[in-house]
Amino acid sequence: MRAVGGEVGIGLLADAFCNALDAFSEAKIIRQKYPEDLSEFRSSLISFLTIWMTGETPLYSKSNGRRYLSASPKRLRLNGAENQAWLNCMQYALDAQPYDEVFKRYVMVQLTLAAEMMRHPSN
């Protein structure tokens, strides 16, 4: 958690991701899947990133009653192009942070693996 600047750093990363969703034309493919107001999504992303980076699962379970990565029909499913757009937004968000380059690469590798596992099976 220190590598990202603690809670403040994770908030900045989530802000940069949300900005990328609104700023990049390639993100239009996924932006429509999110509500106009990204406040709730931002909070959810902060919770996910905090748990993912610290392993503190109870934090997210307390906020919405289930684990983020558990099987859930409500979880956002993305096809290949949508996955890539999501990952590109995350890459932009990471690049906007003062993190160590090796850490940025590690995060992207891990999130790419997770995105592949969660990709919609028919795409």
- Structurally, how many domains does the chain consist of? 1
Question: Within a domain: residue 123?
Answer: no
Q: Return the pLDDT at 74.
A: 41
Question: What radius of gyration do the chain's Cα atoms show?
Answer: 14
Distance of CA 123 to the CA centre of its chain: 20
Question: Within a domain: residue 54?
Answer: yes
For residue 97, what is the domain's CATH number?
A: 1.10.490.10
Q: Return the pLDDT at 6.
A: 87
Q: Which domain holds residue 58?
A: 2-118
Q: Which two tokens stand for residue 85?
A: 């757009």
Per-residue pLDDT of the chain (123 residues; tens, 9 = 90+): 778 888 999 999 999 999 999 999 999 999 998 899 999 999 999 998 988 888 765 544 555 554 444 333 345 667 888 889 999 999 999 999 999 999 999 999 999 988 777 665 554
Question: Within a domain: residue 27?
Answer: yes
Question: Within a domain: residue 75?
Answer: yes
Question: Within a domain: residue 58?
Answer: yes
Question: Within a domain: residue 102?
Answer: yes
Residue 85, number of CB atoms within 10 A of its CB: 22
Q: What is the pTM of this model?
A: 0.79
Q: Return the pLDDT at 59.
A: 47
Question: Within a domain: residue 19?
Answer: yes
Task: Please list, in sequence order, all residues whose beta carbon lies within 8 angstroms of the beta carbon of residue 46, skipping any fewer than 6 positions away.
Answer: 7, 10, 11, 14
Question: Within a domain: residue 90?
Answer: yes
